[in-house]
Amino acid sequence: MEELPIRTGNDVVRVRQQVRAVAAESGLSLVDQTKLVTAASELARNALVHGGGGMARVDVVTSGAGKPGVRIGFTDDGPGIADVDQALTDGWTSGGGLGLGLSGARRLVDEFELNSKPGSGTSVVVVKWSR
């Protein structure tokens, strides 16, 4: 629905604002909105900082049971992640961070799919369903 570039810190703010608007419109509770926006903030910043910039795509989706939800896809053409398990370990960072962004984002959403290979970029897709 909406393709957003992630090239600067301001773009990360814009992604958050877009996700917040779509999440509120889809009827997510305030807690779920906040969780999804925070997860989006982490993944967008990872795409920017570790992936050298990328794109975010925000879509409204419907579950098999007819519940609305919000799906966000992040892609970058950065170096990729060599050891995904290690990257998803709480507290592991390749430099300077808290090492909680990726693992924390996974806990904040209902569905989390990460695809990455060294040299071919990273893609993360997350979904949060309304309850």
Ligand X SMILES: Nc1ncnc2c1ncn2[C@@H]1O[C@H](COP(=O)(O)OP(=O)(O)OP(=O)(O)O)[C@@H](O)[C@H]1O
Select from Mg ion, other proteins, ligand X, none the partner in contact with residue 72, using the beta carbon and a kind-dependent cut-off of 5 to 8 Å: none
- For residue 101, state whether it binds Mg ion (rule: CB under 5 A): yes
> How far apart are alpha carbons 72 and 124 in whole angstroms?
8
Between 6 and 127, CB nearer to ligand X: 6
The number of C-alpha atoms within 13 Å of 21 and in the hemisphere containing its C-beta is 9
| Contact (Cβ atoms closer than 8 angstroms) between residue 78 and residue 121 | yes
Q: Given candidates 59, 97, 111, 130, which one binds other proteins under the rule CB under 8 A?
A: 97
Give the x/- contact pattern for other proteins in 109-128, rule: CB under 8 A. --------------------
Q: Shortest distance, CB of residue 56 to other proteins, whole angstroms?
A: 15
> How far apart are alpha carbons 76 and 50 in whole angstroms?
9
What 8-state DSSP symbol labels residue 131? -
DSSP output for 48-102:
HHTTSSEEEEEEEEE-TTS-EEEEEEEEE-SS--S-HHHHTSTT--SSSS-S-HH
Q: Given candidates 5, 9, 118, 119, which one binds other proteins under the rule CB under 8 A?
A: 9
Select from other proteins, Mg ion, ligand X, none the partner in contact with residue 94, using the beta carbon and a kind-dependent cut-off of 5 to 8 Å: ligand X
Contact set with other proteins (CB under 8 A): 9, 13, 16, 20, 30-31, 33-35, 37-38, 41-42, 45, 90, 97-98, 100-101, 103-105, 107-108
